[in-house]
Structure 1
């Protein structure tokens, strides 16, 4: 997952004088005290690896994170700071600074919002990992999530945050025939996905015609699709959540040959039924002659 670095100075009275060195691919911006002129060698020294020893920063997922109702979502997050020891870590929802509000989770379990009680967990260790886990997702969980931490030296909130979108799963098809008719022998992929954002889950449940398949990846691959592969497909997360609507895979053939497995099942059913009928007849005859 791609992360972006967020080093925006917060509008709080945590520090009276600050210096921020932000380095991007295209430019270097320096903020210094009034009346001072940037010195090239001083700037060079500042950007040497290891000299700063860390900056106040939070790394969130770059793209919005999607979650399906009833599922569990994990939002990856890391952070950094120049010195000191972290004492508290917390996440908030739809609040710019994560102060004076109820929390999604708190390392000291303080002021937890009722809607997140027993559902959200800070998977942090006060060692620059700030991953958040929320289970049994509901529509009210959508919004902007921000992380804040407090050390014995200062405190910091990653203000850009990460967006959580509540969405639905869909089965999407991609085939070698494009959007045309699917024929036997075509290459077909069915993917369990959402539109416009990334999923944190990696294991899925696939269902075809109400029967569970063995595949657990997000995509079903048919290198050469066969007539027996046609049917209604749906998917969901292995950890739970709403199931997608069924997707009907149609394959253009005059008629499908009998499925060997289905034929064997029918044959077994006929044999067992015949044996039971014979057994019933024998029992009736024995009872009749014993009278």
Structure 2
């Protein structure tokens, strides 16, 4: 949306009565088809045996109902569904989902190992569709402080 369009809408909103404004906002919410997954930061470097928190937020279209959310280290390939990390024996005792089923998809991974160096993705499944962050969180695990310093 251009600056001029936003300015015009703001000026219109200032002069509009409250009831049409509420109606306008309701229409916008119904027509929104926004799927977003945001990771912050998108690259994490961690020491072996430390705990990592992968911050994540997401949005999905109005009218959808969340059926399932999970983290995976697989992208969607050839129509094959990625697997839920919390069901993987290597992760199940170390992975804790801290998010909700509305907008927060943050996860904690404890006692990280060198094998945990990977790209991780968040997956959303609703009653109407599925989505996944295109780029995930890249986790690099290193053995000691000197290696972390050299990594940067």
TM-score (norm: length of structure 2)? 0.69
Instruction: Find 1:121's aligned residue among 86, 91, 96.
Output: 96
Unaligned 5+ segments in structure 1 are 1-22, 28-40, 106-111, 171-192, 198-291
Q: Secondary structure at the match of 2:90?
A: helix
For 1:131 and 1:91, the matched residues in 2 are separated by 9
For 1:157 and 1:130, the matched residues in 2 are separated by 12
Residues 1:57 and 2:32 are matched in the alignment: no
For 1:101 and 1:63, the matched residues in 2 are separated by 20
Counting only pairs closer than 5 Å after superposition, residues 1-291 of structure 1 correspond to structure 2 as 51=28, 53=32, 55-83=34-62, 84-93=64-73, 95-97=74-76, 99-105=80-86, 112-167=87-142, 168-170=144-146, 194=149
Q: CA RMSD in A?
A: 2.9
8 Å contact kept, 1:97–1:148: no
Q: Give the deviation of 1:86 after TM superposition.
A: 1.1
Report the structure, 1 or 2, having the larger helix content. Answer: 2
Q: Give the deviation of 1:140 after TM superposition.
A: 0.7
TM-score (norm: length of structure 1)? 0.38
Q: Give the deviation of 1:147 after TM superposition.
A: 0.6
Larger Rg: 1
Q: Give the deviation of 1:77 after TM superposition.
A: 0.1
Structure with the larger RCO, 1 or 2 (CA within 8 Å, 6+ apart) = 2
For 2:96 and 2:45, the matched residues in 1 are separated by 18
